[in-house]
A and B are shown apart, each in its own frame.
Chain A
Amino acid sequence: MDRLLTELAIFAPAALFNIYFAVASIPLGFVFAVFLALGKASSNPFLSRLSRAYIYAFRGSPLFIQFFMVYSLGLSFNVSVWKPMGISGFVLHPLFIGPLVLVLNTAAYTAEIFYGALRAVPRGEIEAARAYGMSRTQQFRRVVWPNLIRLAWPAYTNEVVFLFHATAIVYFALPVIGQQKDLMITAKELFERDYNAFLHFSVAALYFLAVSLVVFFIFGLVYQRLMRHMPAAPRMRFVPKWIR
């Protein structure tokens, strides 16, 4: 028992790195995804094709490769671009590249969710808004967006949990700076010292599970608030589809 507690204490600072990666990439990924989804639904063929291709490419390839590719690509621009601008150490830092790639990746998945929701917005409501003489911006803000976010929220919750899980591979692909180690690297190093796979990996898994449950809880609260106008606020199921 004592052993488990010390182990939990060792992993606590490491968990902060995973949480940081997720927290740093969620808001930007969300905004980017909204634009991508609108782009995909756009009537402009160029915009639509571009968004489609982006979403397809980043959903169709492994995050692990994306990490390697973006890092080595960033490195090859170091001398010509980042160095003269004086942001070299910042741009190539795992604490920047990590969230950057996660944003690029999660935006593609989230955009697909939002796109699906966008197409499910009831036509009648949009027509009603038009009949009231609302401008396109007004239509979007008052009718499309509230519908979209409510439809997409359960699936988006899953995506956020997946994103948190995806932070586990950041340091397998990027260089480790000083003692900045996340849950997986910590678990792997401890395992390599005493071969207690069951203890170290279980503790790391425990942290991932715990944070996932917290995410479900918080996003569930948000969902209830989003749905407060409904006669009986539907509770979000804690075990929705986990497929991304």
Chain B
Amino acid sequence: MKKLILAAATVLALGTAAQAQETVRIATEGAYAPWNYVNEAGELAGYEIDLGNAICEKAGLTCEFVSNDWDSIIPNLLAGNYDLIMAGMSITEERKETIDFTQDYFPPDPSKFVAMAGSDIDPTNLEGKRVGVQGGTIQAAYAEENFGSTNTVVSFTTADQAMADLAAGNLDTIIADGPYLEPVVAASGGAIEFVGEDVMIGDGFGAGIRKDETELKAKFDEALAALKADGTVDKLIAQHFEGRGPFYAE
């Protein structure tokens, strides 16, 4: 009986594994506009979705986007639940110890602080404040290192949850990626504003990939380079990030 179950499981697993060889699965968070989000129609959308599909078309791959929580997105990549991560992930030395990155598809960009209008927060001299971050991000590590000893660093599962707490006055400031915060600040009509100096962390945004997937990485990089050269990447950036770019035009 036990053998039978195991055999059945093997067939099931091999079956799905064989199928999965053909499609490349790309994981995204689905809650980090404008990088990736779920639109009104209930579908995944955003810069990374459009770019990922363009790259796959160029490289002749069949791709499928799956959503995964941010905090377990690297572990599940390593465990083989998908082949790539495109989720507004910054390239860092620390992450490079466990996974590889493709070329960057968004150049290095400063992280920014936001606070509610009228609160005089000075990020260079924070003390006894509540700093919100999304857990597992480069900003979370930065905040813990720089503010952890004299402030309270609160980590949330999604960036939107942190925004909710800021808007409700439960946080003094949030540090996050500039491209995520800019449209929020612009749309808030002055209620939320940038404070302090920007900080430069991370080496740009790239797709995370397992270290042994050299073949897929080469294909992906080649297609990405071609799309950078022909201006598609810049066009998509201009479309999704207002007033940004062009970055990659020759």
Taking Cβ atoms with an 8 Å cutoff, the residues of A that contact B are: 72, 75-76, 78-79, 83, 88-89, 92, 175-178, 191-193, 195
Contact = CB atoms under 8 A, between A and B. Distances in A.
Contacts of A75: 164-165, 168, 170
A43 to B, nearest CB: 43
B141 to A, nearest CB: 13
Nearest to A172: B157
Q: Which of B72, B75, B79, B161 has the most CB of A within 10 A?
A: B75
Given A175-B154, A175-B155, A195 B79 contact: yes
Nearest to B144: A178
Contacts of B155: 175-177
Contacts of B168: 75-76, 78-79
Contacts of A191: 75
B108 interface: no
B135 A176 contact: yes
Contact of B130 (A76, A83, A89, A176): A89
Contacts, number: 45
A76 B167 CA distance: 9
Binding site secondary structure of chain B: mixed
B154 A88 contact: no
Interface of B: 72, 74-75, 78-79, 130, 135, 144, 148, 152-157, 161, 164-165, 168-170
B82 to A, nearest CB: 15
B165 A175 contact: yes
A178 B170 contact: no
Given A75-B165, A175-B165, A92 B170 contact: yes
Nearest to A193: B75
Nearest to A176: B155
Contacts of B169: 78-79, 83, 88
A93 B157 CA distance: 16
A178 B72 contact: no
Given A89-B130, A92-B170, A192-B75, A177 B156 contact: no
10 contacts: A78-B168, A92-B165, A175-B156, A176-B154, A177-B153, A178-B153, A192-B72, A192-B75, A193-B75, A195-B78
